């Protein structure tokens, strides 16, 4: 069987009744075949394609014997040799609201003059080109609402962090140009504590307004107005992870936290991994304080200094924080009344009990012998106490320790007045 050829049916020829002549739809393979014959007015032909079947040019054409339009190889096809008469493409039918429960495949161009709503995934095999002057709205959701099976190239707006993010080899990351894309872990300002007071069961403090990057440096957490924290809130926002009573001789770390439930403060003995209340996902440690033997906070006055660090002065200090016999063979690590879990800059005075030289070092510094002809921190000649500006900052380890070593075995005392919280974690 060969492909059907288009013909003009005339009354009296063949077996087609007169009433049906030229009312049926004929078929051509392509536009060149459509140009091989002229029809009668209002005849309809279906072209299987422009050059070949299903190449995007398929569609219905009707013959207009009065047409003088030029052939454009698209919507107007003029039979060869015609001066008048052409095949004109039938316009696309406008369809109102309808539901398609299965897959809709569109092989040719499709014009949508209203809103297209797609409830499921939509796959585009080629580029998606938008020529308008409006906007594209990407999906919006919290950190917790991210898909459980992300794929490379996904983009969304994270309402928890307030920024656009994309998924790739490094996981979810803020997009370049997003509000927090250029942040780094040290970013912090404001968020200064005050009014630290109370007992183990009534402890409270205030925090000034400010902002900081979160612990992963992917978002900026903001406290628009001053906030209040109290242990009486228990294991809830603006409360303490351990309940409603602070432990004795401990360090309490206060975090700025945010999530779908909002923004607030939270206390924990863990400096890097607090278990946040429900509805909160991102956090940043903003300050720390110590408690005494009864669980009461040791109050201090804080000043924000360079880099967002806090210089904290105890009120009062610890006048006899250290009273030991210093070693001469090597330094010993002594514990001071400053927060643990973080490294801080110790502020205080150290004094030898006799005529000797005392070397006071950070645990990360090399241990050196104490001699009169070496750089010293303090020395005593029997009548006068000499002090010198330390050659290096005295930074504790995370156990609140510093190294002490003397030239001659002697009793060493120290007073702690405060500490510098660098707020780097």
Secondary structure of 118-147 as H, E, C letters: CCCCCCCCCCCCCCCCCCCCCCEECHHHCC
* Residue 90 tokens, joined: 């039938």
The parts of the chain modelled with pLDDT lower than 70 are 1-5, 7, 9-22, 92-114, 161, 169-170, 176-186, 355, 372-393
Q: Are 196 and 310 in contact (CB under 8 A)?
A: no
Structure confidence at residue 351 (pLDDT): 79
Beta bridge partner(s), residue 106: none
A 10 A CB-CB count for 270 gives 13
SS3 310: strand
Q: Torsion over CA of 130, 135, 138 and 141, rounded to 10 degrees? A: -170
Are residues 137 and 155 in contact, defined by beta-carbon separation less than 8 angstroms? Answer: no
Q: Which two tokens stand for residue 216?
A: 């992963």
DSSP secondary structure letters along 44-76: EEEES-SSSTTSS--EEEEEETT--PPP-SSSE
Q: What secondary structure letter does DSSP report for 276? A: P
- Quick one: tokens of 418? 């405060």
Among 291, 194, 192, which Cα is nearest to 240's? Answer: 291
Where are the chain's structural domains? 18-89, 140-174, 188-298, 316-421
For the whole model, what pTM was predicted? 0.60
pLDDT digits (tens, 9 = 90+) for 300-317: 999 999 889 999 999 988
Integer angstrom CA distances of residue 291 from 205, 242, 309:
13, 14, 21
Q: Are 84 and 71 in contact (CB under 8 A)?
A: no
By the 10 Å C-beta count (0-12 exposed, 13-18 middle, 19+ buried), 214 is classed as buried
Other beta carbons within 10 Å of 74 = 11
pLDDT of residue 420: 95
Residues written for the chain: 425
- The answer to whether the peptide bond before residue 68 is cis (omega within 30 degrees of 0) is no
HEC profile of 347-369: EEEEEECCCEEEEEECCCCCCCC
| Sign, CA torsion 335/339/345/351 | negative
* Cα(418)–Cα(317) distance, integer angstroms: 7
Q: Rounded to a whole number, what is the distance in angstroms from the first to the last CA of the chain?
A: 81
Distance of CA 50 to the CA centre of its chain: 50
Number of H helices, E strands in the chain: 1, 28
Q: Sign of torsion, CA 246 252 253 256?
A: positive
CA distances from 335 to 297, 322, 332, 338, 401 (A): 18, 8, 10, 8, 4
């Amino acid at each position: 069987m060969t492909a059907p050829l288009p013909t003009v049916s005339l009354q009296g020829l063949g077996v087609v009744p007169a009433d049906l002549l030229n009312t049926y739809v004929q078929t051509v393979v392509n536009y060149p075949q459509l140009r091989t014959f002229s029809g009668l007015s209002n005849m309809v032909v279906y072209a299987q394609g422009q050059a070949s079947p299903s190449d995007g040019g398929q569609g219905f054409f009707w013959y207009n014997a009065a047409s003088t339009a030029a052939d454009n190889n698209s919507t107007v096809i003029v039979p060869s040799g015609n001066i008048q008469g052409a095949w004109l493409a039938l316009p696309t039918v406008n369809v109102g609201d309808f539901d398609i429960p299965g897959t809709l495949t569109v092989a040719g161009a499709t014009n949508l003059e209203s809103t297209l709503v797609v409830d499921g995934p939509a796959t585009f095999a080629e580029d998606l080109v938008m020529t308008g002057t409006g906007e594209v709205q990407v999906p919006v959701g919290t950190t917790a609402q991210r898909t459980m099976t992300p794929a490379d190239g996904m983009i969304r707006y994270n309402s928890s962090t307030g920024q656009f993010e994309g998924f790739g080899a490094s996981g979810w990351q803020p997009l370049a140009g997003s509000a927090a894309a250029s942040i780094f872990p040290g970013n912090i300002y404001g968020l200064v504590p005050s009014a630290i007071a109370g007992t183990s069961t009534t402890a409270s403090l205030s925090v000034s307004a400010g902002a900081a990057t979160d612990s992963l440096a992917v978002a900026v957490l903001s406290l628009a107005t001053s906030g209040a924290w109290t242990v009486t809130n228990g294991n809830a926002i603006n409360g303490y992870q351990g309940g409603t009573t602070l432990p004795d001789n401990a360090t309490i770390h206060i975090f700025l936290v945010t999530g779908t439930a909002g923004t607030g403060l939270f206390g924990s003995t863990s400096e890097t991994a607090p278990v946040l209340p429900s509805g909160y996902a991102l956090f940043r440690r903003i300050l720390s304080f110590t408690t005494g033997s009864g669980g009461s906070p040791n109050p201090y006055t804080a000043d924000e200094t360079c880099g967002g660090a806090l210089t904290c002065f105890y009120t009062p200090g610890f006048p006899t924080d250290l009273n030991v016999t210093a070693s001469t063979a090597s330094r010993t690590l002594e514990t001071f009344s400053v927060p643990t879990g973080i490294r801080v800059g110790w502020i205080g005075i150290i004094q030898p009990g006799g005529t000797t030289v005392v070397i006071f070092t950070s645990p990360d510094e090399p241990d050196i012998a104490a001699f009169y002809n070496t750089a010293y921190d303090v020395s005593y000649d029997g009548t006068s106490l000499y002090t010198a500006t330390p050659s290096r900052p005295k930074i504790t380890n995370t156990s609140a320790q510093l190294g002490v070593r003397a030239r001659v075995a002697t009793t060493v005392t120290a007073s702690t007045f405060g500490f510098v919280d660098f707020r780097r974690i």
